[in-house]
Structure 1
Amino acid sequence: MHPLPRGLVELYGLLAVLFVLVPEWMADGALSSLKPGGVGSALPPTATAWQKVPELRLASMNLRELRELARALRLWGYAGLNRDQLTRRMLRKIRSKRGKAL
């Protein structure tokens, strides 16, 4: 098989830059302006409901954070649970603690 002509290879390289790299640079610039903590961020602040309602707080956590919280709540056997099981057990534990506090 014959190699491609040099001009065609350069054309493909130019097209790759135009169709792949340039839009990626533009997207990166747009996303960097939305980072939290920036002055005049377009993202809304987190609502107080996310901090007060346990279901919303647990839904926003990743699995590592859920397991760290389970350890702090002293749940037995939390390491073998999947996300849904862990969330259900933690909600029961949190609700039982609230009931005792009232």
Structure 2
Amino acid sequence: MARFDVYSTPIADERRHTPFWLDVQANHLQPLTTRVILPLRRTSSRQQVTQRLNPEFEIEGTRVFADTANIATYPIALLRRPVASLKHERLAIDDALDFLFAGY
């Protein structure tokens, strides 16, 4: 498990609107039994939001946005093998988290 890894949503009822979860937890916290994730929702389910708080990405041909305000923790046991990495989008993701927590 690594920060910025993307996982398929393991909860079947959520996959229609939230196909992926993005791991945003610092790597040095590996001993914890949970990971902090951002839901990656289909852009078709997007309500009026700001690009800074909710950056968009494409994963496996699906356009999604990070629903940063709905940050959550989930047990590591629910996270299987990563399907992608958004490490190359680190600046946009960190900017969204900074905007959520610090307002800048």
TM-score (norm 1): 0.24
Larger-gyration structure (1/2): 1
Larger proportion of strand: 2
